[in-house]
A = this chain, B = another copy of it.
Amino acid sequence: MTSQTLAELAGTPGVAARDAATHDFVFNHSMLRIKDPVASLDFYTRVLGFTLLRKADFEQAKFSLFFLALIDDLAVVPADPDERRQWLAVQPGVLELTHNHGTETQDGPVYHDGNSDPRGFGHICISVPDVRAACARFEDLGVPFQKRLSDGTMKSIAFIKDPDGYWIEIIQPTPIA
């Protein structure tokens, strides 16, 4: 592992200077398809602390979208649905879950987590103040682990799995004592 300066990073092959036309661009959300919204909303709200901030139902096309974010101070969220939608569209760190109606009644897993062939998407990551405390709580809640802190060589990160089997990395910003 190496620790580059910002100048070294800016000189990495491929890296270009920022075009002023991209100012105010926001990495707003990542979208995952889910089998069962009741299971996924329970997981993301109860286990991880997300708040459901928008739901859109497309009855004719038979799908629903759920937008969630980790918001510590709900007072910042506009009550008016239109205002809230505009506010939500400029927040970074939003999770969009897509439910194609009817998948919840199918047997077994419906979606592919991206970590076996064909690979692509890998995981989402939640940063927590205390990764040991967070993982102990996940154990208490019966959350499945892909990798416990004690597994493998990287003792400071864990991976849990959401109801569809998507991997969620758990990290803490500071070194583990």
Contacts and interface: CB of A to CB of B under 8 A. Distances in A.
Contacts of A93: 26-28, 92-93
Contact of A128 (B25, B79, B86): B25
Nearest to A84: B6
B41 A12 contact: yes
Interface residues of A, number: 97
A63 to B, nearest CB: 11
Given A15-B41, A27-B93, A120-B166, 8 more contacts: A1-B56, A9-B53, A19-B49, A25-B49, A25-B126, A29-B125, A32-B122, A86-B174
Interface of A: 1-6, 9-10, 12-19, 21-33, 37-42, 45-58, 66, 69-70, 72, 74, 77, 79, 81-82, 84-87, 89-96, 98, 111-114, 118-129, 133-134, 137, 164, 166, 169, 171-174
Nearest to A58: B1
